[in-house]
Amino acid sequence: MSADKTTDPSMTDQPTTDRPEGFKRVTELLAALGHPHAPVYLDVTARTAQEAADALGLQLGQIAKSVIFKRKLDGVAVLVVTSGDRRVDVEKVAALTGAVGRADADFVKASTGFSIGGVSPVGHLTPPVTLIDRELLRFEEIWAAAGHPNGVFKLSPSQLQVMTGAPLADVTP
């Protein structure tokens, strides 16, 4: 491990050339945006917000959880980025985006390019309608999936807004 990386044994410091396509796509996008924190590839999976919080030693709320819905009107993906310790209120989302339904694994993969458990808030194959939960503002530092269940990256809620161009919204009960 290089000296500038964390010494946590659950994180690896290897070139992205050996990494899955989604992780590489997010890594390249963050670099192109000039984001100061490169994604980290964990030695353990972080498919859930709890797994990510445990692996990183963070509060559950600091995990920026990406939840994908399918808009009923036109089949467009709706991404809600919420705090890991909150549940999304589907009615509140629908009031902002139009009626939404559950998105299955095939829809998530086809529309985002990411598998469930690794959906990044950025780098989607098809840009989704995106909402950012106001609850993320409770934290100065949050961590989001980086295109693979083992990939995560650090950012602030304001950086998330800039990267996605998404509005803040009240989307939790």
Q: Is position 17 within any domain?
A: yes
Residue 8: pLDDT band (50, 70, 90) is very low
**pLDDT value at residue 16:** 58
Tally the domains of the chain. Answer: 1
pLDDT-based confidence at 18, cuts 50/70/90?
A: confident
Give the three-class secondary structure for 50.
Answer: helix
The whole-angstrom separation of Cα 9 and Cα 173 is 37
Does 3 map to a domain?
no
In the numeric block, which tokens belong to residue 32?
Answer: 């192109």
Mean pLDDT for the stretch of residues 141-152:
98
* Residue 32, domain extent: 11-169
* 4 within a domain of the structure (yes/no): no
Number of H helices, E strands in the chain: 5, 9
Q: Is residue 42 part of a domain?
A: yes
Strands (E), the chain: 11-12, 40-42, 63-71, 77-83, 100-102, 129-133, 142-145, 151-155, 168-169
Average pLDDT over residues 134-159: 98
Per-residue pLDDT at 38 exceeds 70: yes
In a domain, 6, yes or no: no
Query: 1 lies in a domain?
Result: no
Query: CATH number of the domain that 144 lies in?
Result: 3.90.960.10
Identify whether 110 is part of a domain: yes
Residue 140 forms part of a structural domain: yes
**pLDDT at position 15 over 60:** no
**pLDDT value of position 1:** 30
This prediction's pTM:
0.89
